């Protein structure tokens, strides 16, 4: 069995790390990943993918990365289920990041353009 995801995209917001009661650190982020093909109107669409980072990965990513930075993520998909207010079963899919690679900083690319 294999459950592995590799994504490259831009951070949609600055990251905020919180600590759980058990002392583990966690942050949740949305990664904007542009599709590699154009739609019927000739435009590239973007997927916004929820990712969760734990402990050292969460700390280092929040320390070195800001909104707009491009990062690579290697991780796994995790699906959780819950009941909505009507009692219907719903599912939520997210990526649990196991490794993050800092690819480019928006501020450094802005400096290069000037």
With a pLDDT cut of 70, the percent of the chain lying above it is 92
Taking the CA atoms of the chain, what radius of gyration do you get in angstroms? 16
Report the CATH architecture of 5-105.
Beta Barrel (2.40)
The domain ranges of the chain are 5-105
pLDDT digits (tens, 9 = 90+) for 54-70: 999 999 999 999 999 99
pLDDT digits (tens, 9 = 90+) for 5-39: 999 999 999 999 999 999 999 999 999 999 999 99
Q: Give this prediction's pTM.
A: 0.82
Q: What is the 3-state secondary structure (H, E, C) of the chain?
A: CCCCEEEEEEECCCCCCEECCCCCEEEEEEEEEEEEEECCCCCEEEEEEEEEEEHHHHHHHHHHCCCCCEEEEEEEEEEEEEECCCCCEEEEEEEEEEEEEEEECHHHHHHHHC
Report the C-alpha dihedral over residues 56, 97, 20, 23, rounded to 10 degrees: -30
């Amino acid at each position: 069995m294999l459950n592995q995801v590799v994504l490259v995209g831009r951070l949609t917001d600055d990251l905020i790390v919180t600590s759980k009661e058990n002392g583990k650190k966690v942050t949740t982020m949305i990664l904007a990943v542009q599709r590699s093909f154009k739609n019927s109107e000739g435009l590239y669409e973007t997927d916004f993918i929820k990712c969760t980072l734990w402990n050292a990965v969460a700390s280092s990513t929040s320390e070195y990365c800001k909104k707009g930075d491009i990062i690579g993520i290697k991780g796994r998909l995790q699906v959780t289920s819950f009941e909505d207010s009507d009692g219907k079963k719903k599912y939520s899919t997210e990526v649990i990041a196991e490794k993050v690679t800092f690819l480019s900083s928006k501020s450094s690319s802005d400096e290069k353009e000037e």
